A and B are shown apart, each in its own frame.
Chain A
Amino acid sequence: MTRPRKLTRWLVALVVLHCVVAGAGFFAPYDPVEQDRDHPYLPPMQVHLMDTQHHFHSRPFFYPLRLREGSFDQYQEDTAAAVPLRFFVHGADYPLLGFVPSRLHLFGADGARVYLLGSDAYGRDQLSRILFGGQVSLLAGLFGAGVTLFLGALIGMAAGYYGGWRDDLLMRTTELFLALPWLYLLFALRAFLPLTVSPLEAFLLVVVVIGMVGWARPARLVRGVVLSVKERDFVRAARGFGASDSYLMRRHILPETASVLLTQAAILVPQFVLAEMTLSFLGLGVPEPTSSWGNLLASLQPYSVLVSCWWMYLPAVAIVPFFLGYLGLASALQQRSGAYKIDEQSSWSPT
């Protein structure tokens, strides 16, 4: 029984990771858009237990960083003032799970800001930005995958079930969509948008378009399953009993596609997160000041940041456990479903 255990392991890991991101407001010490103009590009602060006089403190503390004299980007620790770290503090407001107002944060400090992962060009806390950015990127991935799978299932089902000219037409359309360069389509669509598009609307657009472009592959897979299930005995029996098309599709065929859909979900979510990151990196995704993982990586583009601010890489590190989790989940699901289907899905990149 190793397989179910593997599956649950990955599932649990993913759920934990998602909970951390969902609870970004709690885990992040500060508001991600709050600027601190005296501390741009601050390197990560070190948390100490032993101070410079070699006294041991039971409560971890940190030294605030100050700009070195005459420099604009070199910092040094101000060892005169040790600021203790406090846990379960009241800080900036945030809506827990989107609607419950709350002020409780896991940790924080009085008097100075603690930057565990450094700060960006405007002095905003990177840790908070990564956590909240994860919300945006993961939601984009999940919603996008949802839209894609919904469309794919619908079309694949119709094509597989009805067959004939409808099948042919839908499959040709599928191939057409597989041949479209989604990136270019997205860019052009962005040009259609009205000028003042709020971050929410931009986000929704990204989701919808990615979702609409990617339905082709799941549709084909679903169609394949439907074709094979359609002729199975229990379906024939149900039809014999006078079941309508929609009843058959809903009650008998759809559950069979579940495993394919789940596996596809596990593969598509990271692909779409990556797509959102690409778009934001190229400047077409979620706008300032909202953070998304792609946005955060885009701030690496200037050469000066690339070379001197290593902590701006950390969003990439944050992504890795998620992708790993989804990859593990996908392969566990595939193994569980028995057949390891090789399809034309050949790379992570949506192009």
Chain B
Amino acid sequence: MRYFLRRILHAVFLLFGVSLLTFLFSALTPGNYFDEMRLNPQISQATVAALRAQYQLDRPLPVRYLHWLNAVAHGELGFSFAYNSPVGPLLWVRARNTLLLTITATLLAWLLALPLGVWSASRLGRAPDRVLSWTTATLLVIPDLVLALGLLILAVRTGWFPTGGLATVDFENMSPLHKLRDLASHLTLPVTALVLATLPMLVRHVRASVAEVLDAPFLRAAVGHGISQPKLLYGYALRAAANPLISLFGFSVGTLLSGSLLVEVVMSWPGLGPLLLEAILARDLYVVIGGVLLSMIFLVSGNLLADVLLYWADPRIRIAASAK
């Protein structure tokens, strides 16, 4: 229990620190947004006055920070100038699209990496392992930028896949089955790009950690007991090797929002990445802060998740934690 409390406290501290940094950098960015807002006739004076009051722009920085924290705690992340709407709903729609993409890609990548890595580790040094090593090495040295661009050309040349976006024009009018198919076809290329970008490193790590474990005495003992190969690999070796992999998984969860920026930009996937890129270039302040905050919350949660999973999965940590 104490372990959990400590980790949660730790995560909260991180969030504070990160929010402080974001707030500081946002407060220092050049440009006066409220003057610009005042000139924009679409935004009523009442809105401007309300936002001014909310953000206490004329007050010293610490006071502004507290007010900002207060607003954020109430779910008000500010106002977007470019889209002329509150930031929260805007971010939520885009984040949802990004999560759809990245969750699919992460699940797929892990589902592929585990068996591949384990299989490779079990045949260490022999032909299949070397082939896999070379393949992952090749994929690793290709920047994901080029991968995404290459897949785009594939789409254009063959016409098998849509070339961007989330859904075709008719989406609303399709039957549920068609909708699913349409979504799947739009997801294919970005997911492939992401999987190809993350799979090699995952496979390598799985392979490395399982290979390390395969040398352990207890496994040799298990072989001696006559336990079957699959059970050996997945039931025993993988579990023993799980520690670093769980941290890795936590990291994967942490980058669910921020890791797909390039792929989204290249494939015109309407996710958080392109929104934030646009917002940064347009100096749409509150969208940037909101997006940064959101992705950092994910990062911190990912770490927390990893810690929790580790505690649950690894008896050594449980013992160490209760011993403290």
On chain B, the residues within 8 Å of A324 by CB distance are 137, 141
Question: Residues of A contacting B265 with CB < 8 Å?
Answer: 282
Q: In the assembly, what is the distance between CA of A188 and CA of B137, in Å?
A: 34
Please report the C-alpha to C-alpha distance between residue A320 and residue B281 in the assembled complex, in whole angstroms.
Answer: 31
Task: Tell yes or no: B146 within 8 A of A by CB.
Answer: yes
Contacts of B291 in A (CB 8 A): 184
Of the stretches A89-97, A112-120, A121-129, A340-348, the one at the interface is A340-348
A306 cross-chain contacts in B, Cβ below 8 A: 149, 152-153, 156
B141 touches A175 (CB 8 A): no
B78 to chain A, nearest CB (A): 16
**Inter-subunit contact B251/A344 (CB<8 Å):** yes
Compute how far the CA of A349 lies from the CA of B152 in the bound complex, rounded to whole angstroms: 20
Q: Chain B nearest CB: distance from A278 CB in Å?
A: 7
User: Which residues of A lie under 8 Å from residue B80 when comparing CB positions?
Assistant: none
Are A180 and B18 in contact (CB-based, < 8 A)?
A: yes
A157-185 near B? 1/0 per residue, CB < 8 Å: 00000000000000010011011110111
Contact with A along B132-147 (1 / 0, CB 8 A): 0000010011111110
| Nearest Cβ on chain B to A285's Cβ, whole angstroms | 13
A79 at the interface (CB under 8 A from B): no
Q: A192-B30, A351-B258 are in contact. Are A180 and B142 (CB under 8 A)?
A: no
Residues of the A chain whose Cβ atoms lie less than 8 Å from the Cβ of B276: 184
B209 at interface by CB-CB < 8 Å: yes
Q: How large is the interface on B (under 10, 10 to 19, 20 to 34, 35 or more residues)?
A: 35 or more
| B141 and A347 contacting across the interface, CB-CB below 8 Å | no
Q: Quote the shortest CB–CB distance from B59 to chain A (angstroms).
A: 23
A313 contact set on B, CB distance < 8 A: 146
Q: Which one of B88-96, B169-177, B295-303 is at the interface?
A: B295-303
Enumerate chain A residues within 8 angstroms of B198, measured Cβ to Cβ. 347
A175 touches B137 (CB 8 A): no
Interchain CB contact under 8 A, A184 and B18 = no
* Shortest Cβ distance from residue A318 to the other chain B in the assembled complex, whole angstroms: 11
Chain A: minimal CB distance from B300 (Å):
6
Q: Are A184 and B143 in contact (CB under 8 A)?
A: no
A330 to chain B, nearest CB (A): 11
Say which residue of B21, B251, B288 sits within 8 Å of A346 (CB atoms). B251
Chain B contacts of A178 at CB under 8 A? 299
Q: Which residue of A lies closest to B297 (CB)?
A: A179
Which residues on B sit within 8 Å (CB–CB) of A344?
247-248, 251
Which residue in B201, B277, B295, B300 is a CB contact (below 8 Å) of A282?
B277
Query: Is the C-beta of A63 less than 8 angstroms from some C-beta in chain B?
Result: no
A323 touches B140 (CB 8 A): yes
B202 touches A176 (CB 8 A): no
Whole-angstrom CA separation of A257 from B19 in the bound complex: 34
Please indicate the chain A residues that have their CB under 8 angstroms from the CB of B98 in the complex.
none
Flag whether B283 is at the interface (Cβ < 8 A): yes
In the complex, whether A274 has a CB less than 8 A from a CB of chain B is yes
Please indicate the chain B residues that have their CB under 8 angstroms from the CB of A188 in the complex.
Answer: 25, 29, 280, 288
- The answer to whether A340 touches B288 (Cβ under 8 A) is no
The contact string, 1 if C-beta is below 8 Å from chain B, for chain A 262-276, is 000000001000100
Q: Are B295 and A181 in contact (CB under 8 A)?
A: yes
Contact A179 B18 (CB under 8 A): yes
21 example contacts (A-B, Cβ-Cβ < 8 A) are as follows A172-B14, A176-B14, A179-B296, A184-B276, A187-B280, A191-B30, A192-B29, A278-B262, A282-B277, A306-B153, A316-B146, A319-B143, A320-B141, A323-B141, A342-B205, A342-B248, A343-B244, A346-B202, A346-B248, A346-B252, A351-B258
Supplied contacts A181-B258, A277-B143, 12 more A-B pairs, CB within 8 Å? A178-B299, A180-B21, A181-B296, A188-B29, A188-B280, A192-B30, A274-B143, A307-B153, A316-B146, A347-B198, A348-B201, A351-B261
